[in-house]
Amino acid sequence: MDFFKQSFSADSLLEGQLLLIDKPLGWTSFQVVNKIRWHLKNETGIKKLKVGHAGTLDPLATGLLLICTGKKTKSIETFQNQAKEYTGTFFLGATTPSYDLETERDQNFPIDHISSDLIRKTAEKFTGEIEQYPPVFSALKKEGKRLYEYAREGLRPEIKPRQISISQFEIQKIKLPKIEFLVRCSKGTYIRSLAHDFGKTLQSGAHLTSLRRTKIGDYSLENAFHMKSVYDENSPKNISLKTN
């Protein structure tokens, strides 16, 4: 049985609901919002419904996306400001311009000197209040233009570092050249930048190869609904929303 048909009336959606969604790989956060809005409007007959997300996930990331409807969209900033938790994988010994798999590898580095002990000690250096440079391939704006637009034109605008906080950086598995991690961090933290900086501190290189958001504040991925395509799991078309 479809969750939205059974659980939400038009009035409740307009008054405001918070939906926990497990974003699929390859989807933009905007595509998720668009599809949910279309689905809810069609199921309830609402002609105009505000729907927004509280915290963007990159297309190559999966996991918890908070979706607000109706009057609840006024609380989006409150949700965005909450701490986040992620799990994922770094690949050591190579970098990419985007710091993840969006772009091809551009440089290779030695990893023979890297031990498990060095990896864990290096992770400790990234806990607490730190400065971080956002990736050039990001949606942040400079002079009215997205940074990734500059990057795709081969330009490198000046980017200022931002103060962020990482309360936990746990190395969960080491199988070089890959390491699996868990990070709990503040709003505005780029895990792609963390991967890049981590590799530099190891006197090597690194990039992010997988990322999954597992928590936002007290909200957990365990309680989220996933989106499955009826015809094609990789297509942002023709989906239904069902419980895990």
The CATH number that applies at residue 54 is: 3.30.70
- Give the per-residue pLDDT at 109: 98
- Give the per-residue pLDDT at 243: 33
Residues 153 and 230 in one domain: no
Residues 147 and 194 in one domain: yes
Model confidence at 235: pLDDT above 60: no
Model confidence at 83: pLDDT above 70: yes
Residues 67 and 25 in one domain: yes
Told to judge if 11 belongs to the known catalytic residues of this protein, a careful annotator would answer no
- Give the per-residue pLDDT at 231: 31
Range of the domain at 60: 3-80+218-243
Residues 160 and 223 in one domain: no
Choose the weakest-confidence range: 30-39, 130-139, 153-162, 207-216: 153-162
**Residue whose C-alpha is closest to residue 198's, from 174, 175, 169:** 169
List the catalytic residue out of 2, 22, 58, 218: 58
- Give the per-residue pLDDT at 227: 73
What pTM did the predictor assign? 0.86
- Our count of domains for the chain comes to 2
Q: Please give the Cα distance from 123 to 71 (Å, whole number).
A: 41
Q: Is 237 exposed, middle or buried (0-12, 13-18, 19+ CB in 10 A)?
A: exposed
Residues 191 and 101 in one domain: yes
Residues 48 and 88 in one domain: no
- Give the per-residue pLDDT at 140: 62
| Pair of tokens at residue 234 | 């990789």
